[in-house]
Amino acid sequence: MLVLDTDTVIYYLRGVPSVVRRLLAADPAALAVTRVNEAELYFGAYYSRRVRKNLGIIQEFLGNVRILDIDAGAAEMFGKIKSDLIRRGEPIPDLDILIAAVCLAGGHTLITNNMRHFGRIRGLMLDNWVA
């Protein structure tokens, strides 16, 4: 499964050519976002100047991808990742850890441009469609 981080979804919706090309070439059944990404996308829509328009765009996009929930395996993985990052003195925001935990627990690849945060998480499979 290819899990699209919030930044990747936004790049797609803004028409960034490399992201659009890769997303359209991917198997639609293999594309997903986490429930956390869904929440971040809704925040962006509600915080924007064009709330109604952006809600429609987000809802249409979300209707075409699988949404992965935070299950017991991801919850445990969150604790493991966060404790490791803090012990190493490399903390990142909890929402990013939750996204990574869902990916690690499910054996999924995270598609993101945020290598600064996600690159700190051991074992997380990453791909950057922007670079």
Give 131's pLDDT tier (boundaries 50, 70, 90).
confident
| CATH code, domain with 26 | 3.40.50.1010
What is the Cα–Cα distance from 121 to 104, expressed in whole angstroms?
10
Owning domain of residue 96: 7-127
User: Does 2 map to a domain?
Assistant: no
The pTM score is 0.96
- Domain assignment present for residue 1? The answer is no
Q: Is residue 21 part of a domain?
A: yes
Sign of the dihedral defined by the CA atoms of residues 120, 85, 37, 41, in that order: negative
Give, in degrees to the nearest 5, the angle at Cα 80 between 42 and 32.
Answer: 35
Q: Is 14 helix (H, G, I), strand (E, B) or coil?
A: coil
Does 61 reside within a domain? yes
Tell me if 100 is assigned to some domain: yes
As for how many domains the chain has, the answer is 1
What is the per-residue pLDDT across 103-116, written as a single tens digit (0 to 9) for each?
999 999 999 999 99
Please name the residue that has the structure tokens 């990013």.
Answer: 96
pLDDT tens-digit series, residues 12-65: 999 999 999 999 999 999 999 999 999 999 999 999 999 999 999 999 999 999
